[in-house]
Amino acid sequence: MRVCIAGKNEIAVRGLEYALTHLHTDQVLACPNENDDGISRWQPSLRRFAREWGVQLVSLTDLYERDDLVFISLEFDRIVRPNLFRSPRLFNIHFSKLPAYKGMYTVAWPILNGEALSGVTLHKIDEGIDTGDVIDQVDVRILPHYTARDLYFDCIEAAISILQRNFASILANRFTGTPQAAEGSSYYSKSSINYRQLSLDLRNTAAFVTRQARAFHFREFQIPEIQGLPVCNGRILDTRSRAGAGRLRREGNDGIIVSTVDFDVRFERDSSWDYFQLVAAADVAGIVNCQADRALIDVSNSQGMTPLLVACREGMTSVVEALIRAGADPLRSNTEGSTPLMFAKDYGVRSGDYSVCRVLLDAGSDPLVPDRFGRTVLDYARLNDERSALHFLGATNDA
């Protein structure tokens, strides 16, 4: 028997990791999405992790003639046609509570439609689009402040849970599938939202306007704008809109009032990238006095980098000190588990300046913390024969 994990992002990587804890490496295959270039960014690369873990990489066509195959699709980007496979054991995890929300944009449409509940479904793959027999489901709550990004990450956790709960029964071919009902079914195509020309419909109700802003907010991809102001959660005011629907009124540099068909909505400027901008400008005072939500100091960008990781990579000692003083986590890693100390070590090797490493160690960074491949900063220094780094880190450890 061979189990193939096909797909992308954290769900596929953790699915692969779970498979490897139950099966020998030779029994596991990985089929990454076509656009997976082997580089981890805001999400980990399945191709990269498969290579590191010694898992054979295959294409979709490589799998057609295998009759010993268990195929598990986890955000896979290609249509799987069962008639091309010799094996009937084809499964998918879909980010909705089927039969509702088949198709695309399953973390945007439930928010747009004002749902309080979404879900994740494990189902068999048949000839249709997300129409196969349901094996298991879990609910995922949509809290009032949730963005599409919030819902996406909750769905990943639910998907990992449902995979682990059913992995053994899938392998043993001991599961029960329930045909999907026609009642309650819905489908959204790729063309149902045009992300290339994304705009908010402000000539609508206040509730819908705020739902749009949350549904389209996924900071690694896009942040909605109103009159050039990046926004996220809007606050519906008690005041009824007196101006025409869609009329705008700026309030200073960081606020805007939107008139809708019923109530006014106030939006604040989204500050997701404020700390990154301050790091880019090496603005130490700005970092210390930043008015953005302190939780944003550890957010990652589209490359999977936090402000602290960027500053460590560039050897910005005073900026690193300011970020840590402002609350940045000296142990916060990227999607591969690379720690700030690892980036600081690389800068030290290039420049001979290990002052950033010293700041991190004084702040509690641990050189024995491994990344997701099981290697520490000391391991990488030994692997690359970086004697200056070994000397510095070794002297630090001895102390």
| Residue 398 banded pLDDT, cuts 50, 70, 90 | very low
Convert the pLDDT of each residue in 259-318 to its tens digit.
Answer: 999 999 999 999 999 999 999 999 999 999 998 899 999 999 999 999 999 999 999 999
Question: Quick check: do 2-188 and 274-398 share a fold?
Answer: no
Please give the CATH number for the structural domain made up of 2-188. 3.40.50.12230
**274-398 belongs to CATH 1.10.3720.10:** no
Q: Report the distance separating Cα 366 and Cα 29, nearest Å.
A: 34
- DSSP annotation of 45 reads -
Q: What does the domain layout of the chain look like in residue ranges?
A: 2-188, 200-269, 274-398
Q: Is the pTM of this model over 0.75?
A: yes
pLDDT digits (tens, 9 = 90+) for 67-76: 999 999 999 9
Q: What is the DSSP string of 306-350?
A: -HHHHHHHTT-HHHHHHHHHTT--TT---TT---HHHHHHHHHHH
Give 350-357 contacts, CB < 8 A, sequence gap 24+. Answer: 351/315, 352/388, 353/315, 353/317, 354/388, 354/389, 354/392, 355/315, 355/317, 356/311, 356/312, 356/315, 356/316, 356/317, 356/320, 357/392, 357/393, 357/396
- What's the pLDDT at 292? 87
Q: Which structure tokens are listed for 82?
A: 């069962």
DSSP 103-164: ES-TTTHHHHTT-SEEEEEEEE--SSSS-SPEEEEEEEE--TT--HHHHHHHHHHHHHHHHH
Rounded to 10 deg, the angle between the 148-172 and 9-22 helix axes is 30
Confidence class for position 369, pLDDT limits 50, 70, 90: very high
Q: What's the pLDDT score for residue 399?
A: 35
